[in-house]
Amino acid sequence: MGVNTAIRVIMVYNLRKMRNPINLGSLILAAALLLIGFTSCNKLKENRDNITSAEDFAASETEAAGLFDVSDDANETGMQMTIVPQGATFRWIDSTSTIKIYELDFGPLGTTEPKGKLCGDGRYRAGKVLISFSSPYKNVGAVATVKTTSSDLFYSGDGSNMTQIVTDITIKRTAVYSFEITVNSGQLLFSDGKTASFQGVRNVTKTSGMTTSGVWGDEYEVTGSGSGVNREGDNYTWNITTPLLKRMQLGCARTFVKGIISVKNVDAGRSLDVDFDPYNNAACDRTAKAIVGGRSIVFTVR
């Protein structure tokens, strides 16, 4: 209920009581109750909007990290990939220039479950991804890009719920085991027709697995900040307040196992935290917790 509605109700109350002395206490109580209702509705909407932003950002962050994993795995191993499954097609577009370009094709989105190919990190994928990198990739300063367009029909998910991803990502090696990942533009297209967009800069540091080839067995810490628009059209900002931990192990690699992100709708009065380790056990369960004020909601990362 809005303030204007509250004022109109008070005016009606006043007109009806003109022939009798006005009970000022009752009038004040009525106004207070109406305004409390207005404030409560606003807070409930604010919490709901923040939670939608948190869920959409968690999905966005997971997909951006997954595309980095796919590209880093291929680039690092000289195409001896551990994430990309058999049955996916690898095609060189330019293998002779300093900037090498190739395409990964996971095949079309299926009509029956599972609706994609099961990858080594536990995610199902369908469609095409275009990847480029400057050679040699392991040199500090090397740059890679990962792109998917609407016509590539690239999908990722759990085999049942598949989300289309359109994105443009730039990856720069800032140190031997560190990267700066810039999502220049990203969009999630959900099965119900709604969309969410995201962008930002992440700093990724490998903390384990440096001596092994490929990404399997690696662990990463991720920090960063950025912004987005959730599926309801609300603008939000995000900031990683406690570094995210990504563990490239069987059952773990689909999303983060630890870390906290703060998400705030631009027009909201307070932020919401997303905790990827709600039970303090760094479990590989895709479980996260949204925390706002004294309330919390546990949800599964898409």
Structure confidence by residue, pLDDT tens digits, 238-262: 999 999 999 998 888 888 999 999 9
Rounded to 5 degrees, what are φ and ψ at 117?
-95, 135
- What SS3 class is residue 26? helix
End-to-end CA distance of the chain: give it in Å, rounded: 34
Higher local confidence (pLDDT), 132 or 254:
132
Higher local confidence (pLDDT), 113 or 46:
113
What's the rounded Cα separation, in Å, for the pair 277 and 279? Answer: 6
Q: Which helix (H) or strand (E) holds 91?
A: strand 89-94
The per-residue pLDDT for 32 is 38
| pLDDT of 6 above 50 | no
Q: Which residues of 106-116 are buried (b: 16+ CB within 10 A; e: fewer)?
A: beebeeeeebb
pTM of the model: 0.80
| pLDDT of 150 above 80 | yes
Q: For 98-122, what is the HEC assignment?
A: CEEEEEEECCCCCCCCCCCEECCCC
Neighbours of 241 (CB within 10 A): 14
Q: Which residues of 141-168 are buried (b: 16+ CB within 10 A; e: fewer)?
A: ebebbbbbeeebebbbbbbeebbbbbbb
For 43-101, what is each residue's pLDDT tens digit?
444 455 477 888 898 888 889 989 999 998 888 877 777 889 988 999 999 999 999 99
Which two three-digit tokens encode residue 107?
Answer: 């095949």
| pLDDT of 25 above 50 | no
pLDDT interval class at 8 (50, 70, 90): very low
pLDDT interval class at 18 (50, 70, 90): very low
On average, the pLDDT of the chain sits at: 83
Domain range for 13 is 3-300
pLDDT interval class at 107 (50, 70, 90): very high
Query: How many domains would you assign to the chain?
Result: 1
Peptide bond into 85 cis (omega under 30): no
The per-residue pLDDT for 278 is 94
What's the rounded Cα separation, in Å, for the pair 214 and 104? Answer: 17
Percent of the chain with pLDDT over 70: 83
